[in-house]
Amino acid sequence: MSASREKKTRQDLNSSGWADPKNAREAKQRKEEHRTNLLYGTIGVVFLVLAIVAVVWRTNIIPKTLTAATVNGEKYTAAEVNFYFENNYQNFLNQNYNYLSMIGLDTGSSLKSQTVSATGAMFVTDATEGETWYDYFLNGALDQMAGIQALNDAAAADGFTWTDELQANLDANMETLSSTASTYGYTEQQYLSLIYGSTMTRSIYEEQTRRSMLATAYLQDYQDSLSYTDEELEAAYEEARTTYDHVTCQFVRVNGAAADTDEEGNEIEVTDEMTAEAMATAKTTADAIYAAYQAGTSLEDAAAEYESTASYTNSESYTYNTSVLGEWLYDDARQAGDSAVLEDADNDAYYVVVFNSRGRDDYNTVNVRHILIQPEASELSEDDEGYEDDVAAKNAEAEQKAQDILAEWESGDATEDSFAALANEYSEDPGSNTTGGLYEQVYQGQMMTEFNDWCFDPARQPGDTGIIHNDSTGYHVMYFVGYDKPYWQIRVTNALVSDAVDSFYTEKTEGYTAEQSSFGMRFVG
């Protein structure tokens, strides 16, 4: 049979459903070979995909490109959200470092596994009991991110543009980043990864820093534009006198709380009868103190007769509060010399109080420059022989340096500008050594005692200089610039500015919210 015939036969047979055993066997073999090849091919593809995923994962392409949040149509990657998250978290730690254990935040554990306690919710603004600390910091970061975008958009709409000064500040910020990283032995990228996670890059850090700086500058520009006349300040003061006034007064607090332990120190249940009896005893004591005062005994001496339950206070600046005592002192009907016995049932106490005066802070604030010179720390411990002598020697060195700086100023132009230049060169105060050592609108009690007393010496005149010493801070070379506005005006102005800026911010950020992408948010925090 010719080959062609054979072929035709096979075709005909095959078409009838019959299969040549030989061909069937060969077909089966080919099918198995194909399946095997397909299997190995699939395995190869899987391994290739996994290899690609591994490379992508190691390079952090996903968190660097995947959308984690969207604000008014503008997308933010996980890396960009992390910028705000870590800044929010680190700033919180810096501000509340001494209170972390009290509020129940463990920096060594996952934030997602920790919930805000009742104490944490009480002391931390906007924290909600039961939410995770991760959610708390994330919500704050997203709000901040949305606000910054809103202000950037508003700045563009108002024609507020990036300036050379802002660029110089940004450049300085980036230089500080590099130098800080180098100081600690890291590359710039290693340092960024340490702070913000492995997804952070220099370009992301720089861009989000730029946006933050522009938002801040825009808000500051609005704040700087605000001004108020004396008439406006006076009117604002009259509307909220209790906020700005302080009272001079004397008072004695007589404890009326019932004892909750017996004579042996064992805890006992306090009954209503026990509370009533203790308050009755307190009233008797308060009445006796008051009678002695009315008879001519000083309130302090009258209270001394009952020192076990009565405590005397002489206040030069009692501020308003909603207590029984506060409401009585700030009653508009109060006159100098008024006195009374007051019951404070909510706090188990009686007060004997004398009202002296009420008024606002009319004294002028001051502007002053200083150069801080700190003694070197002793390398000896307090128990080592020669420690006190070493400390004394280092103090003497610091004092001499302060005197030399003052002498240098006196031998030069002896102007405010020349003093400012020396402050920038020598001062060790990080709060003022880039602004010529300047502190403006300093109010009484703001600075440490020696600093305060020098500034508010009644004989102080513009241009006065001197050197003061504080055991904790060191030696201060002082320059008195002059007097500024009355303190009450400063307080009223600050309140008006704060309200205005809050309103401005609310207006500009209205409608700006961050919408989260569940997958992208997995790479945040």
pLDDT at 21 over 80: no
Cβ count within 10 A of residue 505 = 17
Supply the pLDDT for residue 279: 96
Q: What is the mean pLDDT of residues 126-145?
A: 95
Question: Residue 307 and residue 305: Cα distance in Å, rounded?
Answer: 6
Q: How confident is the model at residue 1 (pLDDT cuts 50, 70, 90)?
A: very low
378-429 tens-digit pLDDT: 999 888 899 999 999 999 999 999 999 999 999 999 999 999 999 999 999 9
Q: Are 200 and 187 in contact (CB under 8 A)?
A: no
Supply the pLDDT for residue 66: 83
pLDDT at 314 over 60: yes
Supply the pLDDT for residue 263: 78
Biggest CA-to-CA distance, the chain: 147
pLDDT at 39 over 80: no
Question: Residue 191 and residue 84: Cα distance in Å, rounded?
Answer: 17
Percent of the residues in the chain that have a pLDDT greater than 70, as a whole number: 88
Q: How confident is the model at residue 267 (pLDDT cuts 50, 70, 90)?
A: confident
433-453 tens-digit pLDDT: 999 999 999 999 999 999 999
Supply the pLDDT for residue 63: 58
Question: Residue 508 and residue 219: Cα distance in Å, rounded?
Answer: 10
Q: How confident is the model at residue 61 (pLDDT cuts 50, 70, 90)?
A: low
Q: How confident is the model at residue 62 (pLDDT cuts 50, 70, 90)?
A: low
Q: What is the CATH class of 364-487?
A: alpha beta
Q: What is the mean pLDDT of residues 70-97?
A: 94
Q: How confident is the model at residue 32 (pLDDT cuts 50, 70, 90)?
A: very low
Report angle CA 180, 182, 184 to the nearest 5 degrees.
75
Supply the pLDDT for residue 262: 75
Cα separation values, 31 from 13, 19, 174, Å: 21, 16, 65
- What's the 3-state SS for 343-356? EEHHHCEEEEEEEE
Kindly report the backbone phi and psi dihedral angles of residue 104, in degrees, each rounded to the nearest multiple of 5, phi listed first: 80, 30
pLDDT at 87 over 80: yes
pLDDT at 41 over 50: no
Mean of the per-residue pLDDT values for the chain?
88
What pTM did the predictor assign?
Answer: 0.77
Q: What is the CATH class of 246-359?
A: alpha beta
Supply the pLDDT for residue 266: 83
